[in-house]
């Protein structure tokens, strides 16, 4: 399974050359193309995952570019940050937005009930007013909460997965040393 994930990410992961070819990034290319932002290590990979999750959920367009630009001050791995933004795609975005709306409605305690206890339908108050007064703030709050929680969880999962991978490699190395009799 890890081989399939690795092969998929190698095919889809942006390379330094990809960013070198983007014309409007040329003025800051010297910052984006720093080697330490492209190396995989125990600190930059979890940062990249967290940043990619945050940008992927909060930014509806140009997510990869924003993640790459924000990876600079965060010292996060650029390819990981850019690749992680694909957590939101045409299949996952509608459920995420519905969940965000539901979370926001629960936290803001706006359940479309008038003071008299009657249920207010969107037709009664006008669709545009309903979108601006209820749906917009609730969805925005929910998206912020989902983004922050998913970034924190993504960071922890990436850090633990990195640690598990390193421990696995240490054990393999020790096993090979014992087999060879060294």
User: 167-179: per-residue pLDDT in tens?
Assistant: 888 888 888 877 7
| Structural domain boundaries, residue 117 | 2-180
Residue among 55, 71, 73 nearest 63 (CA): 55
Tell me the pLDDT band of 115, cut-offs 50, 70 and 90.
very low
Question: What is the rounded average pLDDT for all residues in the chain?
Answer: 80
Whole-number pLDDT of residue 160:
93
Quick one: 145 exposed, middle or buried, by C-beta within 10 A (0-12, 13-18, 19+)?
middle
Q: Is 47 helix (H, G, I), strand (E, B) or coil?
A: helix
In this structure, what token pair is assigned to residue 182? Answer: 């060294």
Distance CA 138, CA 1 (A): 38
For the chain, report the end-to-end CA distance as a whole number of angstroms.
32
How confident is the model over 19-44, as a mean pLDDT?
75
> Which region, left, alpha or beta, applies to residue 62 given φ > 0 means left and ψ of -120 to 50 means alpha?
left
Is the whole model's pTM more than 0.75, yes or no? no
Whole-number pLDDT of residue 158:
92
Number of domains in the chain: 1
Whole-number pLDDT of residue 114:
46
Tell me the pLDDT band of 146, cut-offs 50, 70 and 90.
very high
How confident is the model over 43-59, as a mean pLDDT?
91
């Amino acid at each position: 399974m890890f081989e399939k994930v690795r092969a998929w990410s190698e095919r889809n992961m942006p390379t330094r050359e990809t960013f070198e070819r983007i014309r409007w990034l040329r003025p800051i290319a010297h910052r984006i193309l720093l080697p330490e932002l492209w190396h995989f290590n125990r600190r930059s990979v979890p940062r990249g995952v967290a940043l990619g999750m945050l940008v992927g959920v909060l930014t509806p367009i140009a997510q990869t570019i924003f993640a790459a630009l924000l990876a600079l001050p965060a010292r996060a791995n650029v390819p990981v940050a850019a690749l992680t933004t694909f957590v939101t795609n045409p299949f996952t975005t509608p459920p995420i937005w519905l969940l965000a709306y539901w979370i926001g409605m629960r936290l803001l305690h706006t359940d479309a009930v008038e003071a008299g206890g009657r249920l207010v339908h969107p037709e009664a108050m006008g669709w545009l007013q309903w979108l601006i007064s209820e749906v917009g703030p609730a969805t925005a709050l929910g998206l912020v909460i989902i983004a922050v929680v998913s970034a924190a969880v993504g960071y922890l999962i990436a850090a633990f997965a990195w640690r598990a991978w390193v421990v696995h490699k240490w054990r393999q190395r020790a096993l090979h040393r014992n087999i060879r009799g060294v």
